[in-house]
Amino acid sequence: MNKFFYTFLALLLTVGSIEWAHAGNPDRQGEAGAAQLLLNPWARSAGLHTMTISNVSGVEAMRINPAGVVRVNKTEFVVGNTRYLDGTDITLNSFGLAAKVGKNGAFGLSIMAVDVGDIPVTTAEQPQGTGATFSPSLFNMGLGYSHIFENKVSVGIVARVVSESTADVGAFGMAIDAGVQYVTGPQDNFKFGIALRNIGTPMKFTGQGLTIQEQNPDGQISYELTYFQRAQQFELPSTLSIGGSYDFLINPKNKLTVVSAFTSSSFSQDQIGAGVEYTFNDMVMLRGGYKYELGSFEDDGVRAPIYTGVSAGVSINVPVRRGSTTKFGIDYAYRHSRIWNGTHNIAVRINL
């Protein structure tokens, strides 16, 4: 396959994606559930506001663009913790693994659990609380595969299970993510990516928590009947993201990468943004970005988003010993928010 074919394929995917992006219905905004699928638990990409559609690799690609899983060196382990909107007591705990299989393939595993803390139990008779608490369980796990062709075009797919439950009610669903990345340029400087995420089955809550007991309606004999309340099903928050990046290779030890991305959401406002990452000797990385939510600041009754658009992060990678190809890394990211105290991501990674 020659370079012309890859260029044509990238353009074809771009045109098709733009058509899909304009096909959404703005009246559906806010109707999706399973919002956990939109949260990014990985610090490296969070420092660029999740705009690394074109150049993400390894474990983090499982959340952003599955095509990048295959661009891992050999094997990568990542463990992450996120203080989501600091002050809300919500944390994200995550684990990921990406491993090469053969010369051109790679498998990935990604697990994320959301801890929302303890919520007071209230009833119609005791609206101020019964003294008891409960903690919902929010969990998703993805298994993916990525393949690369001639080191230029990579494709990937992730199958993900989604679970949300309490002690007496729960919902379960499945989602598919798919993506493509294209690399070109004299030194593979230019990268382009498209990712379609959270395409799957509608979810619906079921369980004993949806039952209520009421008195016999005829009133002649006093006894209770159990009624089951049917919950409305809801869609997953599907998104389409298109991104590009360019590497300015200043010298063998210094690199400056510029990234940009556009995300079209079926159930929320579209987003556009850009960022910059500086890399020194593949050991220290500094990054920052800005993302704008289209239409949110217009005089149309739409409130401003939680995030103000600003993000920043840092990564440090060091060999475990001199001359070793195994590296140990720490990533940190911060995203400023309009209320609360922003979101803090931290992750520990091992590259074999």
The pLDDT tens digits of the residues spanning 149-181 come to: 888 899 999 999 999 999 889 999 999 999 999
Give the residue ranges of DSSP H helices in the chain. Answer: 3-21, 43-46, 61-64
Average the pLDDT over 8-15 and give the result.
49
For residue 303, the model assigns a pLDDT of: 64
Give pLDDT tens digits for 184-193. Answer: 988 889 999 9
The mean pLDDT of 235-257, rounded to a whole number, is 94
- Residue 41 scores a pLDDT above 60: yes
Is residue 275 within 8 Å of 301, Cβ to Cβ?
Answer: no
- How high is the pLDDT of residue 347? 97
Rounded distance, CA 70 to CA 66, Å? 8
State pLDDT tens for residues 251-285: 999 999 999 999 998 888 889 999 999 999 999 99
- State both tokens at 85: 């909107």
Q: Which of 114-128, 161-175, 293-307, 317-331 is modeled with the greatest confidence?
A: 161-175
Burial group, residue 96, by CB count within 10 angstroms (0-12, 13-18, 19+): buried
SS3 (DSSP) at 153: strand
The arithmetic mean of pLDDT across residues 230-240, rounded, is 90
- pLDDT for 55-65, tens place per residue? 999 999 999 99
Q: What is the pLDDT of residue 137?
A: 93
Mean pLDDT of 4-22: 48
pLDDT at 14 over 90: no
pLDDT 10s digits, 208-224:
888 888 877 776 777 78
Structure-token pair, residue 106:
């790679």
Give residues with Cβ within 8 angstroms of 231, minimum separation 6: 204, 205, 206, 210
Distance CA 115, CA 83 (A): 10
Angle at 149 between CA 48 and CA 260, to 5 degrees: 20
Domains of the chain: 3-351 (2.40.160)
pLDDT at 24 over 50: no
- Determine the pLDDT at residue 101: 94
Q: Are strands 307-319 and 284-293 parallel, antiparallel or unpaired?
A: antiparallel
**By percentage, how much of the chain surpasses pLDDT 70?**
89
Answer whether residue 50 shows pLDDT above 50: yes
Q: What is the DSSP letter of 310?
A: E
β-strand partners of 213: 226
Whether pLDDT at 8 is above 60: no
pTM above 0.85, yes or no: yes
